[in-house]
Structure 1
Amino acid sequence: MTPLNLIAVSLFAFGLVACDNARDTLPASGDTAATPMDIAEDNAMHHAGHKAGNGGIGHAFGTIRSVDDEQDFLTIEHGPFEGIAMGAMTMGFGIMGGVDLSRFSEGDEVEFMVKQGRDASYRIMAICKKNTDGANCLDGVMDHQESNGKVAE
């Protein structure tokens, strides 16, 4: 037998053994096999509650823990959000264009709105100080957002 024929026969034999072992992993008669999509669905992280019919927009109250030096990122200790499924925690938020952080500093109590971007991160789209702008300082912005389906920029 030539070396080439020997290799071909060996590969064929290995293939038969592999196929025979594959039968051992098939489900028993009457069982249904999980498809890759079933497996992915079972292991997927569900974000259904994060984007209600509001385009991923929510608002909360919190306390600023830090403002970064470039004033385009805030760390806020916040309560639970209304509009999105996010509980109380301390986390960082990027800023959407047009939001001015020049008057905000560590320790300010704020009301703020976030919008979820295509990258799934939440960015601040509106923010105000509770002590100088009023206890519900975003009411007008939220009313406008609800009536038009979006927030005016």
Structure 2
Amino acid sequence: MADHEATELLPIGRVVAELRRAYPDVSHSSLRFLEREGLVVPHRTPGGHRLYAQHDLDRIRQIKAWQAQRLSLQEIRHRHAALRDLGAPGAVADRFLAAALAGDLARAARVVLDADELGMPLERLFGNVLRPALYAVGERWARGEVTVGQEKEVSE
């Protein structure tokens, strides 16, 4: 099953209606502009109508937040690419965990701060990066793979 079949796809009108609650300036034309600029790539029906997945709405919200910070389109493109290069939350969690367990707490903190500064939503940062990493530390402690001191350093 393709990714887009596993999630609900919304037509542009519903996306505009949903986003306008928080961002009154969102319109059909502003979404088409983001598409022309390569910042959002919606799915298409056989008839050519745009369909947006939840990750598209998340991306648009992030773009709107960056626009509110007065970032240029070039800066937004750069941040979007950097966020994409940051990797999936699981990869970020792995980097955090590796640094923390190596005793490099500054690097571990930098991993989290970089993700936050690039705009990883806090829900994803806490729920999909920190929580799984801390859970993994607890599991490793229970198996005797990390010391109490390591577990305490990482969890604080």
Q: TM-score normalised to the size of structure 2?
A: 0.23
Higher Rg: 1
Which has the larger helix fraction?
2
Superposition TM-score, scaled by structure 1 size: 0.23
